[in-house]
Amino acid sequence: MADPFAVTNQAPPLRGVNFFTRDTALGDALRPYVDLTGDPGLHRIGELAGSEEALSNALPANQNPPVLRTHDRYGNRIDEVEFHPSWHWLMEQAVGFGLQAAPWTSERPSPHLTRAAGFYLWSQVEPGHGCPISMTYAAVPALRADEQLAKEWIPQLASTQYDVRRLPAAAKNGVLAGMGMTEKQGGSDVRANLTTATPAGDVYQLNGHKWFCSAPQVDLFLVLAQAPDGLSCFVVPRVLADGNRNPFALQRLKDKLGNRSNASSEVEFHGTIGYRLGDEGAGVRTIIEMVAATRLDCVLGSAALQRRALVEAIWHTRHRSAFGGLLADKPAMQNVLADLAIESEAATALGMRLAAAVDAALGGDAQAAAFRRIALPLAKFWVCKRTPFMVAEALECLGGNGYVEESGLPLLYRESPLNSIWEGSGNVNALDVLRALRRPESLEAWLTEMAAVQGADTRLDAAVNDVLQALADIENAEAGARRLAARMALCLQASLLIRHSTPAVADAFVASRLAGDWGGVFGTLPRTTPFGQIVERTIG
């Protein structure tokens, strides 16, 4: 008689898997731009990401959220945030891999695409600590608006040494950056900001608040405030050059749905020193480069969540038996897994295409810059919007096991809506698509991508024609902005899969997402889809 207390029919822990070498979709997404198959850095990230050490630090960082210390034992204001050791371990690895700002000073080919692949891989371990990593990466292009500030800060931002000491930047081995844009009364409408910036010699004194200040423990912040000539951007260091702390009052940490390992705060400025970055009145134009870079990381981070959830679903169903066989062999489950797989691969392909455009645009390619302008809000809108549905379905593949914290799926699920909200919600990005489309070069860049596969699939051709018809009345398109953005993003993903993936993946994607042969929920692909072939491609 079987032992009723024996543990059987449970999936073993997902350990010892190299996240890079097992990701065929990532390799195919990178290869059109640069072959990184043998890249030692990505191999190292992939190996560590799938290790016991990495995975044993992911949950503790979330289970032990940061703690705000406003005063020391004597009553002195200190405004510090304390983190669990697992957070610091994760940060040390990410900075050591150069995922924060190293690409901006790198001499290697395709540094931003390589970094994008690394960020995507490492974000699969624990997504919360990606916030200060992303902020630091995104601060560099904005800082280039001022030669002196760029010279002072960029080398430190690009350092691969993680240094948490509260010292002037010049005395540190490396620094990290954050951002303060939104206020209580305005949210995304930053032109409604009330924080003031008063000239005081070579600096400005800031007075006011920020409702969301990302990563308040870092060394410098890009902050929007109202100067005499309008909304302007300022560099606000936590510690001044003389060693004194800049007034930076942390009021409280946000109690968030997800992203719990990371600190997000409310902050007040009381005579806080800021250095103007760019011209007075040009704050939005100055900081928009930072927003663009963080939006790219929203796409990459969402693609990472999709990938990790997908791998967990496949791993579980390959080791779990029910109704006389493995779950992964059941036709209904195969349909679900294949559907999740093509969603994940489409997100990965689009994220890497955008990162490749960053490299090309920085090299002076005007076509790449125009493509980035239109494709970035498209991808931010669509990939981030799809992620919660996708992660929820993957969680369900584990049944009750997926609803338990130890599985790691609840962590992914709570994180999944974040990137759709951060750096502009769905409506903000859909409307940004309309703004981009009013520039002829943006539409031309999207059409160039479509022209590369014109005639390859009549269903995609028909979808492109639908988009062009919708664009005929662009001046009155706001009510349909989401529908238009979704359709354009899907066409873009389909074009990438047709060019760079397998026919099975591309056909299933076009049939379901563009041609209507889909039930609207995962697991309703056409019955003729080669489910097993698509799933096998995913993790081998």
Same domain, 150 and 252: yes
Same domain, 227 and 307: no
106 alpha carbon, distance to own chain's centre: 21
pLDDT at 540 over 80: no
- Which DSSP helix (H) or strand (E) runs through 432? helix 426-437
Domain-embedded: residue 26: no
Tell me what pLDDT residue 6 has: 86
409 alpha carbon, distance to own chain's centre: 18
Same domain, 256 and 311: no
Check which CATH number belongs to the domain holding 67 and give it. Answer: 2.40.110.20
47 phi, psi to nearest 5 deg: -70, -45
Q: Average pLDDT over the chain, rounded to whole?
A: 95
d(CA 240, CA 78): 14
In the structure, what pLDDT confidence band is assigned to residue 115 with cuts at 50, 70 and 90? Answer: very high
For the whole model, what pTM was predicted? Answer: 0.97
Total tally of structural domains belonging to the chain: 2
Tell me what pLDDT residue 190 has: 85
Q: Which of 125-139, 153-167, 178-192, 230-244 has the lowest mean pLDDT?
A: 178-192
d(CA 374, CA 382): 13
The structure tokens listed for 435 are 């703004």
Same domain, 170 and 62: yes
Cβ proximity of 424 and 436 under 8 Å = no
CA distance to 32, 345, 409, 526, per residue, from 496 (Å): 10, 10, 29, 21
Same domain, 247 and 332: no
Tell me what pLDDT residue 187 has: 81
Same domain, 247 and 295: no
Check which CATH number belongs to the domain holding 490 and give it. Answer: 1.20.140.10
Closest CA to 112 of 53, 36, 40: 36
Tell me what pLDDT residue 362 has: 95
- Per-residue pLDDT tens over the stretch 367-420: 999 999 999 999 999 999 999 999 999 999 999 999 999 999 999 999 999 999
Same domain, 83 and 166: yes
For residue 169, give the DSSP letter. Answer: G
In the structure, what pLDDT confidence band is assigned to residue 191 with cuts at 50, 70 and 90? Answer: confident
Instruction: Note down the domain range covering 111.
Output: 40-281
Maximal C-alpha separation, the chain: 86
Same domain, 241 and 337: no
Q: Give SS3 for 400.
A: helix
Last residue of some domain: 281, 296, 330?
281
Last residue of some domain: 281, 298, 332?
281
In the structure, what pLDDT confidence band is assigned to residue 266 with cuts at 50, 70 and 90? Answer: very high
- Per-residue pLDDT tens over the stretch 269-312: 999 999 999 999 999 999 988 899 999 999 999 999 999 999 99
More confident residue, 323 or 205: 205
- Per-residue pLDDT tens over the stretch 9-18: 888 888 889 9
In the structure, what pLDDT confidence band is assigned to residue 423 with cuts at 50, 70 and 90? Answer: confident
More confident residue, 289 or 237: 237
Q: Give SS3 for 98.
A: coil
Closest CA to 84 of 234, 261, 224: 261
pLDDT at 123 over 70: yes
Same domain, 254 and 360: no
d(CA 346, CA 492): 9
Same domain, 211 and 291: no
Same domain, 290 and 276: no
pLDDT at 25 over 70: yes
Last residue of some domain: 281, 300, 334?
281
Write down how long the chain is.
540
